[in-house]
Structure 1
Amino acid sequence: MDDISLVNGSSKVGVWTNNVESPIPAESHPLLELGDSTKLLEVQVVLILAYSTIILLGVVGNSLVIYVVCKFKTLRTVTNFFIANLAVADLLVNTLCLPFTLAYTLLGEWKFGHVLCFTLPYAQGLAVHVSTVTLNVIALDRHRCIIYHLETRMSKDNCFLVIGVTWVISAVLASPLAIFREYGIVDLSPGKSIEVCGEKWPGRSTDGTLYSISMLLLQYVLPLAVISFAYIRIWSKLRNHVSPAGRNDPHHRRRKTTKMLVTMVVVFAVSWLPFHAFQLAIDIDSSVLVTRHFRLLYTLFHIVAMCSTFANPLLYGWMNRNYRSAFAAAFRCKQRLDSVRPDGRENTLVRTNTKKALEAQDKVARHLNATDV
């Protein structure tokens, strides 16, 4: 039977693909007998605006996070390196997942060739795995330091080693998306054919469903359970600690940082929950695939899930003074006017603005020297 599968948020991210094992003639395909609400002009306009907004906010926000962590030496801490790694993964989703998902939704068929059929789903799955594993690493690292009173934080060398292992593990988990895949051309009717890119499992037809469910457990259910356990213990430990009043108290800073990290996890979990639930419904009952609004529902749930890719930079700016100050300083340094007057002398206003920007950077550096993250 010809079925339509999804590159979903748990094991597969954001590209429509078709199973090409046994094509059905166009006149007998149930999907072609139904309307498709994603073909409505007003729906397409909304989808274009939604995806474009997410891509813009995600690229700008995550690039800014990576920039300030690299720019300011005092932001180069273990936790911030993990946060930057999370930003890299989100940036990968913004650039490799969303544009192609939008294009495929609007076009209705695979138009990106043989090579991208194998590489895109793999890259997308890799990015989402990295995000999930990194959130776990951050939670476990803070649990180790706060619960067991370890004043010595993880070294930067070990931090980079952990980040490397994170990418290796994620690459292995995402590898079936590149291995069990097939590209082909399906004849729908005389003179009409479409390109398809789909999963091609070697064994039973249920292999894809088993992989999807196992990835749902390994990438969503189990990680969130581990993260929840870690942060519940951390929150209990910090809440029961009695500290002197003052914003510079280490426990006060740790409490604020933990609150920000917990909010990141909550946003991630809530954003992906509808998409995972929808995918689970598909795995349980394949008749969902032939409903009229299937593609529209999938796309809407995917948009909600992708909001998590730009939410983190907003949370940093809102909940963390360190990042807020660093973002402000970075934008000041980007302000540029003509530095030379017609007579060849330096513009006084530019010199003044540059001096203020450098002073702002120094102020940020002095402030960050005494902070936890």
Structure 2
Amino acid sequence: MLNNSSASGKWSEVPWADGNLCPPSLSGTTFLIVAYSTVIAVGLVGNVCLVFIISRQKEMRNVTNILIANLSCSDILMCLVCLPVTVIYTLMDRWILGEALCKVTPFVQCMSVTVSIFSLVLIALERHQLIIHPTGWTPAAGHSYLAVAVTWMVACFISLPFLSFNILTNSPFQNLSIPFNPFSDHVICMELWPSERNRLAYTTSLLLFQYCLPLLLILLCYLRIFLRLRRRKDMLEQASEIRQRKARGAQRINAMLASIVVAFALCWLPLNIFNTLFDWYHQALPSCQHDIIFSACHLTAMASTCVNPVVYGFLNSNFQKELKNTLHRCRCWGTPESYESFPLSTVGMDVTKMSSMHRGSFATIAEHGIHS
């Protein structure tokens, strides 16, 4: 079977030898349809709700939430374009969606993954700036909109090769050594690079800049945050109840954001390993088991589209309350619940007040002066 076997949307060819085709089983096909449909439904509904609530509440439009919404937008794009196409292509064993989608689908998937990982990097950098350098420059909502725009432009640029090198071809079907070839009029969507060296250079660069290096930078940011909070643990134990409550809120926010990063990394790890093997040593992947392995890895990667709303929804009480209120207004469920909205980012006015009162202890309070 010919599949989308890249985290960035690369459509690749699996060897067809002596007409030894491996048709999918009925149970396997049913599982794929149900699993992908579930991921699409959860990803779409969850991320649309998250973006709607953040955009609806002015108090929630802070740097962290804007970047969270941007992450959800990239997941929505993945659910709308890439997942349905992947299901159809996987089950059909051939491409039936035309040349435009052959080029656009891998381009959109590469762009979506790039936006997602860059959003996670920006969130980690913002948390690092607020906690490690609380008296320094504080990013504002306007800066986050600019960062979002730059992120999408860079992601588009990185993904451009898929628009150029993805083509429709029937070559694998023409080469089947069987007496009667019923697949002669079938076509597949695959990459045709000027050289194998160019293809390997691009896919390896994607692995580094779209997965390994961003996650390493995120790890360093959260490690420094953890160490800083740990060093000030003794000071917090002697602090007032209000400051302790703020500290617990900050720790909960950092745990939520770190959980999103860890889940993203774990979801995409199997598919990145699969792609690396396919690019550098595809003989290690058996022909018949290729589809099963790919489907499992790809489905795990696509599950990352559900991580953001699930983790954010479970760990952010304000999001839960706002969702209940929204459903009540639609007369769908629940009763209205009053609450006070706290932004995820430090408020600039609080910084000014605390600087004038206790310059020496400002860093500790500003570091923890956020609520979920």
Task: Look up the SS of the partner of 1:123 in the other structure.
Answer: helix
8 Å Cα contact 1:63-1:91 kept in structure 2: yes
8 Å Cα contact 2:47-2:309 kept in structure 1: yes
1:81 aligns with 2:90: no
* CA distance 1:31–1:206, shift in 2 (3 Å): farther
1:192 aligns with 2:180: no
Task: Measure, in 1, the Cα distance between the counterparts of 2:260 and 2:266.
Answer: 10
Tell me how many residue pairs correspond in the alignment. 335
Task: Measure, in 1, the Cα distance between the counterparts of 2:143 and 2:201.
Answer: 35
How much has 1:63 moved relative to structure 2?
0.4
- Using the aligned pairs only, state the percent identity: 30
1:305-354 deviations in whole A, cap 9, x for unaligned? Answer: 111110221111221212222222222222159xxxxxxxxxxxxxxx9x
Task: Measure, in 1, the Cα distance between the counterparts of 2:144 and 2:118.
Answer: 14
Candidates 254, 279, 284, aligned match of 1:258: 254
Q: Which stretch of structure 1 is more off in the superposition, 204-213 or 95-104? A: 204-213
Aligned to 1:219: 210
Aligned to 1:306: 302
8 Å Cα contact 2:250-2:371 kept in structure 1: yes
Candidates 111, 114, 130, aligned match of 1:145: 130
How much has 1:251 moved relative to structure 2?
3.0
Task: Measure, in 2, the Cα distance between the counterparts of 1:154 and 1:31.
Answer: 61
Task: Look up the SS of the partner of 1:198 in the other structure.
Answer: strand
1:235 aligns with 2:226: yes
Aligned to 2:22: 35
1:7-43 deviations in whole A, cap 9, x for unaligned? Answer: 411x326xx4449xxxx9xxxx31731424xx11011
The two structures have a TM-score, normalised by structure 1, of 0.83
1:201 aligns with 2:193: yes
Aligned to 2:9: 12
Task: Look up the SS of the partner of 1:269 in the other structure.
Answer: helix
Task: Look up the SS of the partner of 1:201 in the other structure.
Answer: coil
8 Å Cα contact 1:316-1:324 kept in structure 2: no
8 Å Cα contact 2:2-2:94 kept in structure 1: no
Aligned to 1:323: 319
Candidates 25, 40, 62, aligned match of 2:47: 62
**Structure 1 residues 105-124: aligned runs within 5 Å:** 105-124=90-109
Amino acid at match of 2:22: G
1:271-323 deviations in whole A, cap 9, x for unaligned? Answer: 11111111111122122455211011101111111111102211112212122
1:131 aligns with 2:116: yes
Aligned to 2:358: none
8 Å Cα contact 1:122-1:175 kept in structure 2: yes
Aligned to 2:80: 95
Task: Measure, in 1, the Cα distance between the counterparts of 2:182 and 2:317.
Answer: 64
Task: Measure, in 1, the Cα distance between the counterparts of 2:317 and 2:229.
Answer: 20
Task: Measure, in 1, the Cα distance between the counterparts of 2:40 and 2:138.
Answer: 35
1:284 aligns with 2:258: no
* CA distance 1:316–1:248, shift in 2 (3 Å): farther
1:135-186 deviations in whole A, cap 9, x for unaligned? Answer: 0010011111110114763122111000000101111111111122222344
8 Å Cα contact 1:264-1:312 kept in structure 2: yes
8 Å Cα contact 1:247-1:253 kept in structure 2: no
How much has 1:93 moved relative to structure 2?
0.9
Task: Measure, in 1, the Cα distance between the counterparts of 2:304 and 2:261.
Answer: 10
Structure 1 unaligned segments of length 5 or more: list them: 338-352
How much has 1:238 moved relative to structure 2?
1.8
1:108-156 deviations in whole A, cap 9, x for unaligned? Answer: 1111101111111101110011001100010011111110114763122
Task: Measure, in 2, the Cα distance between the counterparts of 1:329 and 1:56.
Answer: 22
**Structure 1 residues 314-353: aligned runs within 5 Å:** 314-335=310-331
Task: Look up the SS of the partner of 1:193 in the other structure.
Answer: coil
The two structures have a TM-score, normalised by structure 2, of 0.83
Task: Measure, in 1, the Cα distance between the counterparts of 2:18 and 2:164.
Answer: 28
8 Å Cα contact 1:61-1:313 kept in structure 2: yes
Task: Measure, in 1, the Cα distance between the counterparts of 2:96 and 2:12.
Answer: 11
